[in-house]
Chains A and B, each alone.
Chain A
Amino acid sequence: MLSKLTYKEKKATRDGFGDGMTQLGRRNKKVVALCADLVGSLKIQTFIDENPERFIQVGIAEANMMGIAAGLATAGKIPFTTTFANFSTGRVYDQIRQSIAYSHKNVKICASHAGLTLGEDGATHQILEDVGMMKMLPGMTVINPADYTQTKEATIAIAKHKGPVYLRFGRPSWPVFVPKGKFEIGKALKLNNGKHITIVATGHMLWYAVEASKELEKEGITVDLINIHTIKPLDEGAILRSVKKTGCCLVAEEHQRNGGLGESVAGVLARKFPAPMAMVAVDDSFGESGKPDQLLKKYGLSPKHIYKAARKLVKKK
């Protein structure tokens, strides 16, 4: 199965979002897009061209955007707020908490440029805490797709889901490799069957996990590879079934270790099936300017880091 995971082209996850929005614009008249002065970055120009009456430019005022989205949802619309992940979460946390999450509003918070792979703009914009913040909000669904295809499918799927959603994606061109038609909110995607180690990966790190798994298999370490795109609600069953088979679990994500997917998985295992674990994530640090691959390497998130951590973990079993 691993050998089938290859790619012919690279595309950004945010392009998947933009193309998903184009489809939604045509299919679902309740969908309204809002943007805080980042239309080009969020790739929603086609949606705007085709549905000018269902696009709201709010300017550089994200708090107001979240409130307006809550009001639109109250009146039966399905608002999609769009801006960078930093301004979609940290900047407006209280607005999301009170006007959207606590008020059960059907708002889709769509966040691009998450994580280190935003690159050259540096740490002011590279949010690595957003998943933690959003998963703590009661009732919030948190989704971090892995490639163009999955982001497009997730974008379309969340319009049908009732309730607030945080959809996190990114800036860089990235391998397009996830099989089509497999996305289902809350359901883990199994990409390879193995027996020595479970590797759980989300977002951009899924491709790196595939690369690392291929290297591990060359050495006879077979990987049960699970893609968690929906960080909350977490598909606990899929993780437990796998770890009961392999006996150990590595989680890879482009996020702080504190508050990330790794912590969620650790929580499940601690409660239901304690097992050795490793986490490939950012270790309590801000990022910096640089190219995405340089940054991922410097902050311990390269395929090699996954490979090494996996080998060490298997030995520890």
Chain B
Amino acid sequence: MASIKQLEKIASQVRRDIIRQTAGANSGHPGGSLGCADFMTALYFGIMKHNKKFKMTGKDEDMFFLSNGHISPVWYSVLARSGYYPVKELKTFRKINSRLQGHPATHEGLPGIRVASGSLGQGISVAIGAALAKKMDKDKRTIYALTGDGELQEGQVWEAMMFAAHHKVDNLIVTVDWNGQQIDGPTKKVMALGNLEAKWKSFGWKVIKMDGHNMSEILKVMKEAKAACGKGKPICILMTTAMGRGVDFMEGTHKWHGKATNPEQTKNALSQLKETLGDY
């Protein structure tokens, strides 16, 4: 496992990849991607047991499902940096004939992706299905899923929450990217989520809060979550993050949810993020 310093170095490169992918396509979703860069780096380089020689069924591996598919740039970066496909493929993001579709898809056969996402609210259900299959097969590995907070406004999420508790899907760790922002503004204004902790708890989940920008805390909490598996309850991590984290003019606002930086802004953003592994 990589050290905290190493993970932070990787996360910096992942953030550069995010800015460069979205700027290169002149579209995409940098805000949420930057906010989840630390968590996704920790997941792929410090937490999950996974194999870059990708197998769809994920037998004897941990599996990850991204429900908020629009933050594809961060996922594409960590997958490439993990060796699932060449890093230089990141430059095809959102372009014609690419495997790196605007939202993640299996259709073009990109290694590391197991289901399409983008239309929101579906990922937890899919993760539950994979978790149930692991139980049937007596496969002890863990299923991870990431969902946005705005996404929790979709009704299907609450169907999935009810199901996972009722059926004791306790090999499932769902992380909520709790950045408080969505396209039209702060979640509090658009459609308030209320007391998220109380809501997940009352649905029967074990809930842990986590700072999504503190690498050592991410590792510690995810370890704690993993240890809590197999005890009859699904696990929810409420992860506080700042949308646009790492670039001063992008941080903490919904304005960079779905907009790429122009050439000048790109230069400014990249000047704030150290190149640690080499740009593609």
A residues touching B (Cβ–Cβ < 8 Å)? 32, 53-54, 56, 58-59, 61, 63-77, 79, 94-95, 97-99, 102-105
Q: Per a CB cutoff under 8 Å, which of A58, A65, A75, A95 touches B57?
A: A75
Q: Per a CB cutoff under 8 Å, which of A72, A74, A79 touches B58?
A: A74
28 contacts between A and B (CB under 8 A): A53-B136, A54-B136, A58-B163, A61-B163, A63-B121, A63-B155, A64-B128, A64-B163, A67-B124, A67-B126, A67-B160, A71-B133, A72-B132, A72-B133, A73-B129, A74-B56, A74-B115, A75-B63, A75-B129, A75-B133, A77-B133, A95-B125, A98-B118, A102-B106, A103-B105, A103-B107, A103-B114, A103-B116
Give bound CA distance, A73 to B56, whole Å. Answer: 10
Complex contact B105–A63 (CB within 8 A): no
Complex contact A71–B125 (CB within 8 A): yes
B237 interface contact, C-beta 8 A: no
Q: Given A71-B125, A94-B119, A103-B106 in contact, is the A64-B133 Cβ separation under 8 Å? A: no
Give bound CA distance, A102 to B113, whole Å. Answer: 13
Q: Given A32-B136, A59-B163, A104-B106 in contact, is the A98-B129 Cβ separation under 8 Å? A: no
B residues touching A (Cβ–Cβ < 8 Å)? 56-59, 63, 65, 105-107, 114-119, 121-134, 136-137, 155-156, 159-160, 162-163, 166-167
A-B contact count (CB 8 A): 118
When distances are taken between beta carbons in the complex, the residues of chain B under 8 Å from A58 are 163
Closest Cβ neighbor of A64 among chain B residues = B159
Complex contact A56–B160 (CB within 8 A): no
Complex contact B128–A74 (CB within 8 A): no
When distances are taken between beta carbons in the complex, the residues of chain A under 8 Å from B63 are 74-75
**7 tightest A-B contacts by CB?**
A71-B129, A67-B125, A75-B133, A61-B159, A64-B159, A68-B129, A71-B130
Q: Per a CB cutoff under 8 Å, which of B59, B105, B160 touches A64?
A: B160
Give bound CA distance, A105 to B136, whole Å. Answer: 19
Closest CB of chain A to B242's CB: distance in Å? 29
Question: What's the dominant secondary structure at chain A's contact region?
Answer: helix
Complex contact B162–A61 (CB within 8 A): yes
Closest CB of chain B to A206's CB: distance in Å? 35
Closest Cβ neighbor of B145 among chain A residues = A71
Closest Cβ neighbor of B169 among chain A residues = A68
Which of B57, B106, B116, B166 has the most A CB atoms < 10 Å from its CB? B116
Complex contact A74–B57 (CB within 8 A): yes
Closest Cβ neighbor of A92 among chain B residues = B156
Closest CB of chain A to B48's CB: distance in Å? 16
Which of A58, A68, A103 has the most B CB atoms < 10 Å from its CB? A68
Give bound CA distance, A59 to B166, whole Å. Answer: 10
Q: Per a CB cutoff under 8 Å, which of B115, B133, B159 touches A99?
A: B115
